[in-house]
Chains A and B, each alone.
Chain A
């Protein structure tokens, strides 16, 4: 695909496709007009308007660009695993127009200087929007508060602790209270470090059979409960990243009913795979939190369907091959997913486990709201769009994946849904006009 195939023009019209944003907009054979980077008109007004260029989107679905709340870009510091340039290009390939960059870099994004560095590099090399998430504690060590004021003014959209938990509840409480001072949302990965210990697999039947060190479900649920209670007390806006268990969904729903400002996301691979994926010691599926039981998987899907879980994330973690070439316990956790999220979601839709509109909402408006933005197909919205062919198939693999990380969970498997074009502010970030 050639991003330059479509000249970036002041006004652009998309006609003939299905507009779908999961938030009320679902129109076949629709029209959409883009002017100066924003959606200028939808429907008849767009169809009748004159434009410098027109895209015929027949057979395609047009959605708001996907928003990823948890993406590891690896820069600065881990160039062997990926870079802002390579991973944002991969994200654009996957239909994402905005990614929140995890603070787990080297150095950690715990100061305005690192945030500026990320933003500057992204401004030069990223085809999509990169929104840094700052570190909640200095060095992500969980001991000292980070410079949240500096992080906020440098452009961090939230603060979080990456994939790491915070061992000390007193420090966590202070972190929340301090983040509240600056109106920052706190993104936390719920895991009780003592209960998770040195585990790397769900503490269930597969781990028992294979003798893998387990991370029990309570390592997550006790942390979820602690975080919810502390958020309630401090009044901070809490976002729980990558929950993995049925009980967490229940606790989240209860907290919301009590009016606590808490949201949550789930990684797409948690919706598709279970602990059984580790049965052949396949290190690709060494992820954290671990893939859990079928019952958990179904509850997570229900959580997305019912809107209890706001967002689906890629939890993209590109690795070099050496990081995954070892016995399971010695490998690094994480999957390269940012390009296959849509396809994995469409697989759930094909299995009738999830409605297409729910999937799109959880990839667009849901995550956007967590960071105080919107992602709808409506007049005045940013023209951040994804256009994909739901009927086409592709096979993720070395020839088709852009990310520096090749360890995708669906490698070699024909998958539904090909992203033909990703537009950011009306400009083509990925793809070309369909013939």
Chain B
């Protein structure tokens, strides 16, 4: 029997504890998460320069391998790679190879033959980046850009960076995640990150139909009533709710969801006065969040977007560094008797 944290740890970290791939936050300790945030902090300044480039990935080829479309995430990964001076290839696989019946393994072999150094993978199935990381040639880094309902670790880390910028530290923070936790890969990664970084309390606020089984055991408390759940909050993270899930068996209507779980000014007033409001975007105004709140003084939604580029630069450069160190170590092991 395997332990998830342990197996992910082996897969995504080198023997020296450096990032080799970035698949999930499971198995990554507080020091490494803090290193990612610190590295990202140092990259924020790059975006403020006239010439927004550093040479860390010069000569490297990064392939954005999106099996599921996502303009926003793909664009920030592309921008991050370009600011690191990498050559970037964007592949929208959902409309090409696999739709012709090619297996993921075969697609991967073809792309590897193009001598890529890094794949940024978005896939509708949980675990797809793990599968790719297990089968890819050594030396090629895999970055998870969101897989099924499993993980979206860069999104969670950019949220952590945003929280740290506004709150200074995680200790003592009370954070709520509101909405469609069941289908959210971001929520799972956020719960893990907040627990590891020392938040005092993580609450999920959602109706029973939108919560995974045994969600408390992931490291959070559950609150069905949003008015109660908003009490004493330092941070409220709204989740995106796919409109196609509104009707039918999960929820009776958009209107009811908004009434019960939408973030209005009234509900926000129940939290601490300096509570920040976050949302991974794209926002459904009037469904998850009131426009006045989304655009209001407590909203940090646009900071999240800016931080997304810095976090992705950090993770890409660290994973590439880990791959290089790994290769150098293995080569030296071969040379030495």
Interface residues of A (CB under 8 A from B): 203-214, 216, 273-274, 276-277, 279-283, 322, 325-330
Tell me, in angstroms, the Cα distance from A117 to B83 when the chains sit together.
66
Q: In the complex the two chains form, is A280's CB within 8 Å of B150's CB?
A: no
- Complex alpha-carbon distance, A273 and B2, angstroms: 10
B 93-136 to A, binary, CB cutoff 8 A, 1 in contact else 0 = 00000000001110000000000000000010111101100010
Instruction: Say how far B71's CB is from chain A's closest CB, in angstroms.
Output: 22
A330 CB to closest chain B CB (Å) equals 6
Q: Which residue of B lies closest to A208 (CB)?
A: B212
Question: In this complex, which of A203, A216, A328 has the most chain B Cβ atoms within 10 angstroms of its Cβ?
Answer: A328
Q: Which of B195-229 contact A (CB under 8 A)?
A: 212-215, 217-218
CB of A328 to closest CB in B, whole Å? 5
Add 15 more A-B contacts to A209-B4, A281-B127 (CB < 8 A).
A204-B214, A205-B218, A209-B188, A211-B147, A212-B150, A276-B1, A276-B4, A280-B7, A322-B105, A325-B103, A326-B104, A326-B131, A327-B127, A329-B148, A330-B125
Complex: A274 Cα to B150 Cα, angstroms: 20
Q: CB-CB < 8 A to B8: which residues of A?
A: 280
Q: How far is the CB of A297 from chain B (nearest CB, A)?
A: 10
CA distance A274 to B3 in the complex (A): 11
A-B contact pairs, 13 of them (CB 8 A): A205-B218, A208-B213, A208-B217, A208-B218, A209-B26, A211-B148, A211-B150, A212-B127, A212-B148, A276-B1, A283-B131, A328-B127, A330-B125
Pair A280/B2 contact, Cβ less than 8 Å: yes
Asked if residues B104 and A327 are in contact (CB atoms below 8 Å), the reply is: yes
Contact call A211/B130, Cβ cutoff below 8 A = no
Task: Name which residue of chain B comes closest to A214, CB basis.
Answer: B213
Q: Tell me if B131 and A327 are in contact (CB < 8 A).
A: yes
CA distance A209 to B8 in the complex (A): 13
- Of chain A, the residue at the smallest CB distance from B187 is A211
**B149 close to A (CB within 8 Å):** yes
Contact B214 A208 (CB under 8 A): yes
- Decide yes or no: A216 and B213 within 8 Å by CB, A211-B148, A327-B128 being known contacts: yes
- Min distance, Cβ B263 to any Cβ of chain A, angstroms: 24
Residue from A206, A322, A329 within 8 A of B4 (CB atoms): A206
Whether B185 is near chain A, meaning CB under 8 Å from some CB there, is: yes
Residue B7 contacts which of A213, A214, A274, A279 (CB distance < 8 angstroms)?
A279
A279:B4 contact, CB within 8 angstroms: yes
Name the residue in A211, A276, A277, A283 with the highest tally of chain B Cβ atoms < 10 Å from its Cβ.
A211
B1-32 vs A, CB cutoff 8 Å, 1 = contact: the mask equals 11110011001000000000000001000000
B126 touches A211 (CB 8 A): yes
- Structural contact, A328 and B126, CB atoms closer than 8 A: yes
Instruction: Chain A residues near B157: list those with CB within 8 A.
Output: none
Count of A-B residue pairs with CB < 8 Å: 93
Q: When chains A and B are docked, how far (Å) is the Cα of A208 from the Cα of B137?
A: 30
Are A277 and B217 in touch, CB under 8 angstroms? Answer: no
Q: Are A211 and B151 in contact (CB under 8 A)?
A: yes
Closest chain B CB from A378 CB (angstroms): 39
CB distance from A347 to the nearest CB of B (A): 12
Given contacts A209-B218, A327-B123, contact A281 B130 (CB under 8 A): yes
Interface residues of B in 134-167 (CB under 8 A from A): 135, 147-151
Chain B neighbourhood of A206, CB < 8 A: 4
B217 contacts A205, C-beta separation under 8 Å:
yes
| Chain A residues with CB below 8 A from B213, complex form | 203-205, 207-208, 214, 216
Q: What distance in Å separates the Cβ of A142 from its nearest Cβ neighbour in chain B?
A: 23
Are B125's CB and A327's CB within 8 A?
yes
The chain A residue sitting closest to B10, CB to CB, is A280
Once the chains are docked, how many angstroms separate the CA of A207 from the CA of B218?
A: 11
For A325, the chain B residues whose CB sits under 8 A away are: 103, 105, 135
CB pair A210 B127 closer than 8 Å: yes
Known: A204-B214, A210-B127. A277 touches B4 (CB 8 A): no
Contact of B126 among A204, A212, A273, A274 (CB under 8 A): A212
- Check A326–B3 contact: CB distance below 8 A: no
A216-B213, A279-B7 known; A326+B150 contact, CB < 8 A = no
Choose among B4, B123, B151 the residue that contacts A280 (Cβ–Cβ < 8 A): B4
Most buried by B among A210, A213, A273, A274: A210
**Assembly CA distance A205 to B214 (angstroms):** 6
Contact A211 B149 (CB under 8 A): yes
| The residue from B1, B26, B123, B130 contacting A274, defined by CB atoms under 8 A apart | B1
The 6 closest A-B pairs by CB, nearest first: A211-B149, A281-B127, A280-B7, A279-B4, A211-B150, A208-B212
Cα–Cα distance between A279 and B130 once the two chains are bound (Å): 11
Tell me, rounded to whole Å, the shortest Cβ–Cβ distance linking B162 to chain A: 23
Q: Are the CB atoms of A210 and B7 closer together than 8 Å?
A: no
Residues of B within 8 A of A280 (CB): 2, 4, 7-8, 11, 130
Q: How far is the CB of A178 from chain B (nearest CB, A)?
A: 34
Q: Contacts A211-B148, A279-B7 known; A329 to B214 CB distance under 8 Å?
A: no
Residues on B with C-beta less than 8 A from A274 are 1
A293 — nearest CB in chain B belongs to which residue?
Answer: B214
CA distance A327 to B129 in the complex (A): 8
| B1 and A210 form a contact (CB under 8 A) | no
Q: How far is the CB of A411 from chain B (nearest CB, A)?
A: 13
B147 surroundings in chain A (CB, below 8 A): 211
Please give, as numbers and ranges, the residues of chain A lying within 8 Å of B212 by CB-CB distance.
207-208, 211
- The smallest C-beta distance from A319 to any residue of chain B, in angstroms, reads 14
Tell whether A276 pairs with B3 under 8 Å between CB atoms, given A209-B218, A325-B103: yes
From A325, A327, A330, residue with most partner B Cβ within 10 Å? A327
A66 CB, min distance to chain B CBs, angstroms: 25
**Closest-CB distance, B132 to chain A (whole angstroms):** 8
Distance in Å from the Cβ of A215 to the closest Cβ of chain B? 11
A204 to B213, CA, bound (A): 6
Bound-complex Cα distance A322 to B104 (A): 10
Known: A203-B213, A209-B218, A322-B103. A328 touches B125 (CB 8 A): yes
Chain B residues, CB < 8 A from A273: 1
Task: Determine if B2 and A282 form an interchain contact, defined as CB atoms under 8 angstroms apart.
Answer: yes
List of A residues within 8 angstroms of B128 by Cβ: 327
CA distance A98 to B185 in the complex (A): 47
B residues near A282, Cβ cutoff 8 Å = 2
B191 nearest in chain A by CB position: A209
- Give the Cβ gap from B292 to chain A, nearest Cβ, in Å: 33
> How far is A203 from B215 in the complex, measured between Cα atoms in Å?
11
Are the C-beta atoms of A329 and B126 separated by less than 8 Å?
yes
Instruction: For the complex, give the distance between the alpha carbons of A207 and B7 in Å.
Output: 16
